[in-house]
Chain A
Amino acid sequence: MNSPWTRRAFLRGAGVALALPALPSLFATSARSDDAPPVRLIFWYVANGIHMPAWTPSTTGRDYDLPLILEPLAPIQHQVSVLTGLTNMAGRFSLPGDHARGTGCFLTCERPEHTADANIRNGISIDQVAAQATEGATPYPSIQLGLESGGSTGNCDSGYSCAYTRNISWADDRTPLPKMHDPRVVFDRLFGGMEEADPELAERRRALRLSVLDAVADDARRLQQRAGASDRQKLDQYLTGVRDVERRIESMDAGVCDVPGRPESGLDLPERALAMNDLMAMAVQCDLTRFVSYMFANGGSGRSHTWIDGASGNHHGISHHQNNPAEHRKLERINRWEVSVFADFLQRLQAMPEGEEGTVLDNTLVLFGSEISDGNRHNHDDLPVLLAGGGGGAVQPGHHRVYADEPIADLYLAMLQAVGVTRSAFGMDGTRPLSGLR
């Protein structure tokens, strides 16, 4: 079998030396030197809450105990903190629809407008605050991934638009960013063309791509001369898109890194999840992007975990456990599997050396969370939250830290600080970076 890690190819990605001078204020608050590895933020969402009795460690501080659901973290525990006692107030409201609201506000901490029509409204998400503040540093300002498909129209939860349950990244209050859910599409977009080992051939392909884009842009400009105002505006959008792709091809100009193998087609869901782990890890290691949001499932997902013994059936249905111990056991199995895939991802980052003696995980912050806490109560406090990685020294991982009902928005402000972006407020209730993470 072809190991995905052995094929070496030229990756014309922005290497370690980034265009920092273009972003003079970016690292102003950071003590990091210019040639320090980049810091990344990854936001990992799971659906339908967590069975908290088998999640929350009974001890605090270092070497906290690992309840059943967290057991898969054992090999990487020193890099993972459990943060107990965080709340997303924006999810609370007097209407049904907690899954949509909780998923909508997962990274925005703003209360989504109750609508199933086109007049959706939410806030900008934290990953996009970071991406927009550092635009231009990497070929992709951010990427959005998921394991389940579905568009952004229609009514997905009690009169809430599917835009809220199927996207967690929002470029602004009205623009959800669609996610890619097919690992092959993700591969083609991020690594397409890079697997060509013959540099001469790779160079010609690149030249041909650019010449095609140049030619169609010229063509669009010719057509614009014959177009009225509205048509010209549509062609302007087209030209912006062409320029964007051209810039991306041109910026992929230095550096060498490993390119994973193209994922096979027809993978089942657990295999797709591992393929995504591969692609995400490679994307951040190669510095193709620094901000990733990942929906392990859509909000309120009803998928059946047929590959886990004794856990099949509608996940959303099971999460309404009504305190039935049999349903609790199923939830524990689902949640434990979710954590095991997360642990696999962390171990991949940990296995990638970076800087003097660190790893990619040392220079990354990975947040794991859900739209609610308990699937039966739909509560938006006591959220299940993991924070993995060192964030380039911003965070001291490996602790169970307990907070007294503090806003998760404050955690996001702290994560933002780790990438050198300082903001004094975020969402409905974020006012200062969460303390006690070091």
Chain B
Amino acid sequence: MRPTLLALALVACSGSPSTDLNADPRAEDPGRVTARRLNRSEYNRTVRDLLFTDLRPADSFPPDDFAHGWDHMADALTLSPLHLELYEQAADALIAQELRNPIVPEGTWFFDANDPELVATTGAAGSTGYMLWSNGSLVGTARLDHPGTYTFTASLAATQAGPDLARAALTIDGANVATFEVTGERRYAEYTTEVELTAGAHTVGVAFLNDYYNPELGEDRNLLVERFQLDGPFGTPDEPTAARSLYYTCAPDSGASCRADILRGFARRAWRRPPSADGLSMLTGLTEGAIALGADPEEAVHTGIKAALLSPRFLFRLELGDDPTAAVSRPLDPYELASRLSYFLWRSMPDEELFELAASEQLLEPEILEQQTRRMLADPRATSLIDDLAGQWLYLRAVDDIEPDYATFPDFDGALRDDMRAELDHFVAEIVLEDRSMLDLLTEEQTWVSARLAEHYGVAPPIEHDQDLGPVYLDEQGRAGLLGKAGLLTALSFPTRTSPVKRGQWVMAHLLCEDPPPAPAEVEGLPEHEGEPLSLRERMERHREDPACATCHKVMDPIGFSMENFDAVGAFRTHNVDGTQIDPSGSWPGGPSFADSADLSFALAEDPRVASCMVRNVFAYALARPAGIEDIPYLDRIDHAFEEGEHRFATLAVSIVLSEPFRRTRGEPEVTP
């Protein structure tokens, strides 16, 4: 492949030699990937798919270590004692919510006797309770969600008179379910019975059964009601959670072999492969040990499951072969391959279809692998590619952290920032997940904005909406693709002003894979309050007078200046703050010239380095390790397939999945000191 003029201009600037120009393919080595701890995104997504939970325990885990622009690079991810503590908490919380014994939670239906909502056939409310002064009842309505055993309790007293004690009944739906002799003389006591009730509305209350009144003797028997209540249901089985139904194929109290079955099924999915004998015996040993300690079978099984969730087999993606020091590569086993595939495309565990194809070993067949890759890309879980892949490589996540200066941009607020992020998410999804050419990321002139963001861009709001976003065109402002997006432009600015250097440097590093070396410390960053009457552009011209700076800046600065029509919050402008007209045109030494940012984006899209840089980024993302010099022969083949496949993401994903570095691994030869 002939390097372009741009690529040649960049070689002199790049901090490290451009690997593909100095390729010296040696014996092919597909490399290896160190044991990968699940990062926060993966942990949350994995427990979502393992336990069907809406909990996101990893949101409170420490931030993941960041390397090569990614938060999931195997070598960089460390694990601190704080992680272990939080893993333990997370396991407890997940088990309590998703694998609990499904018993209907108990409730109380309470009735204050003086509540005017109650219905009485006789009597009146009084300061010491409701007085039923002749035979009759006082009732309220309890609406029950669940059938089951309830307790029905009333606090009753009486004014005694005549030969008998006062008699009261607890009534449900008009029927007496229990009758009592009320013994207290104006002293309340509780009377309780147990009742079986159906779900639905029930009339519950108290009836007075033996009124007595003798006006001559001045004797009057009455029933006093203070309150009554239903509690329950007790021990009513509830709908099990989805996870409970899946894993609890038998009742934990039915015996050790049932408990082992539950643990085996859980471990198969949690550990992403059928558990080995030693792994399973660890879990069953804990569970049976817990029973020996006096735990009930529920708690005992939870203990085993907790160990499964705390085991390195869950927390790490391990690819342990028979010979950990083998220099010769081996094909991944089908379960290892299933996990590589699912964590690449979903950042989560394999689904049942992948497990089955792994069990039958069909997953090792290239046609099946390709078919699965395409199936998985069509699955909603593939949206992880937006937040995790594009989120980091294309800086979507950086938009969440933008904080323009409040005084300079008083209209900017959190809602606008969210709209900027939503635009980028939608834009990238539209191209990556709809399997269009990824070069459209640079050249597509249609975008999807909210009414608020349309106003920010200075265009009419979209006519059609889908989830608040609608299509608009921004081509008249010289905007195309990513480099015209307000969110990215803001993320690549200082809080008060634009930074052509940052923008140019970002294009080089993220789209051309040519990371310029950092500027010497003493010149880094343009002082904010410099008093010289030079325009920004004039000051930047000085970069190029110093030969040490010139090699990089003569490539970087024209890129940044082409975007000067977009201010530090990405809004369109034709003039600088000082009133001078902005000239977005530029050229590279010996390379193409361009009229504005859109023109530059089209020029970039034609440069093979851009497609090749896409390949390198997705490759690193897929493997959780950066591309190295040994990968060049493989990368060349993927580059070729990507080009042949019209730069569609699915083509790229398939060719990475089918490449040897993805499908094979090797051991790590011991270094002899």
Interface residue ranges of A103-128 to B (CB < 8 Å) = 114, 118
A155 close to B398 (CB less than 8 A): yes
Is A229 positioned at the interface, with any CB of B under 8 Å from its CB? yes
Is B7 positioned at the interface, with any CB of A under 8 Å from its CB? no
Measured between beta carbons, the chain B residues less than 8 angstroms from A157 are 403, 495
Interface residue ranges of A237-251 to B (CB < 8 Å) = 237-238, 240-242, 244-245, 248
Which of A158, A182, A220, A241 is in CB contact (< 8 Å) with B81? A241
Q: Which of A29-37, A209-217, A386-394, A408-416 contacts B (4 or more CB under 8 A)?
A: A209-217
A155 close to B401 (CB less than 8 A): yes
B320 close to A208 (CB less than 8 A): no
Which of A154, A215, A314 is in CB contact (< 8 Å) with B285? A215
Is B88 positioned at the interface, with any CB of A under 8 Å from its CB? yes
Whole-angstrom CA separation of A13 from B546 in the bound complex: 63
A178 close to B63 (CB less than 8 A): yes
A231 close to B34 (CB less than 8 A): yes
Which chain A residue shows the least CB distance to B409?
Answer: A317
Is B601 positioned at the interface, with any CB of A under 8 Å from its CB? no
For residue A230, give the distance in angstroms from its CB to the closest CB of chain B: 4
A158 close to B293 (CB less than 8 A): no
A227 close to B71 (CB less than 8 A): no
A208 close to B35 (CB less than 8 A): no
Which chain A residue shows the least CB distance to B81?
Answer: A244
For residue A293, give the distance in angstroms from its CB to the closest CB of chain B: 15
Measured between beta carbons, the chain A residues less than 8 angstroms from B458 are none
A223 close to B60 (CB less than 8 A): no
Interface residue ranges of A212-267 to B (CB < 8 Å) = 212-213, 215-216, 218-220, 222-223, 226-231, 234-235, 237-238, 240-242, 244-245, 248
Number of A-B contacts (CB under 8 A): 169
| A154 and B398 contact, Cβ closer than 8 Å, known pairs A223-B312, A234-B35, A237-B79 | yes
For residue B556, give the distance in angstroms from its CB to the closest CB of chain A: 16
Which of B285, B289, B310, B325 is in CB contact (< 8 Å) with A213? B310
Is A162 positioned at the interface, with any CB of B under 8 Å from its CB? yes
Measured between beta carbons, the chain A residues less than 8 angstroms from B528 are 95-96, 158
Interface centre among B307, B321, B322 (most CB of A within 10 A): B307
Q: Which of B186-194, B204-212, B665-673 contacts A (4 or more CB under 8 A)?
A: B665-673
Which chain A residue shows the least CB distance to B312?
Answer: A220
B303 close to A204 (CB less than 8 A): no
Is B89 positioned at the interface, with any CB of A under 8 Å from its CB? yes
Which of B35, B82, B299, B525 is in CB contact (< 8 Å) with A227? B35
Measured between beta carbons, the chain A residues less than 8 angstroms from B289 are 211
B293 close to A204 (CB less than 8 A): yes
Which chain A residue shows the least CB distance to B84?
Answer: A241
Measured between beta carbons, the chain A residues less than 8 angstroms from B293 are 204, 207-208
Is B602 positioned at the interface, with any CB of A under 8 Å from its CB? no
| A189 and B306 contact, Cβ closer than 8 Å, known pairs A208-B293, A244-B81, A245-B84 | no
A154 close to B401 (CB less than 8 A): yes
Is B406 positioned at the interface, with any CB of A under 8 Å from its CB? yes
| A182 and B401 contact, Cβ closer than 8 Å, known pairs A153-B71, A215-B307, A216-B312 | no
Q: Is the interface of A mostly helix, strand, loop or mixed?
A: helix
Is A199 positioned at the interface, with any CB of B under 8 Å from its CB? no
Which chain A residue shows the least CB distance to B87?
Answer: A241
Which chain A residue shows the least CB distance to B75?
Answer: A230
Which of B75, B310, B527 is in CB contact (< 8 Å) with A216? B310
Which chain B residue shows the least CB distance to A234?
Answer: B35
Is B517 positioned at the interface, with any CB of A under 8 Å from its CB? no
Is A323 positioned at the interface, with any CB of B under 8 Å from its CB? no
| A238 and B315 contact, Cβ closer than 8 Å, known pairs A155-B401, A188-B89, A219-B282 | yes
18 further A-B pairs in the complex, CB-CB below 8 A; given A153-B63, A156-B401, A226-B322: A151-B64, A154-B400, A185-B60, A188-B89, A192-B92, A211-B286, A216-B312, A226-B324, A228-B324, A230-B35, A230-B75, A231-B34, A241-B80, A241-B84, A241-B85, A317-B407, A317-B410, A320-B407
Name A's B-contacting residues (CB within 8 A).
94-96, 114, 118, 150-159, 162, 178, 180, 182, 185, 188-189, 192, 204, 207-209, 211-213, 215-216, 218-220, 222-223, 226-231, 234-235, 237-238, 240-242, 244-245, 248, 300, 302, 314, 316-317, 320, 322
Name B's A-contacting residues (CB within 8 A).
32, 34-35, 37, 60, 62-64, 66-67, 71, 75, 78-86, 88-89, 92, 278-279, 282, 285-286, 289-290, 293-295, 299, 303, 306-307, 310-313, 315-316, 318, 320-322, 324-325, 397-398, 400-401, 403, 406-407, 410, 413, 491, 494-496, 521, 524-525, 527-528, 667-668, 670-671
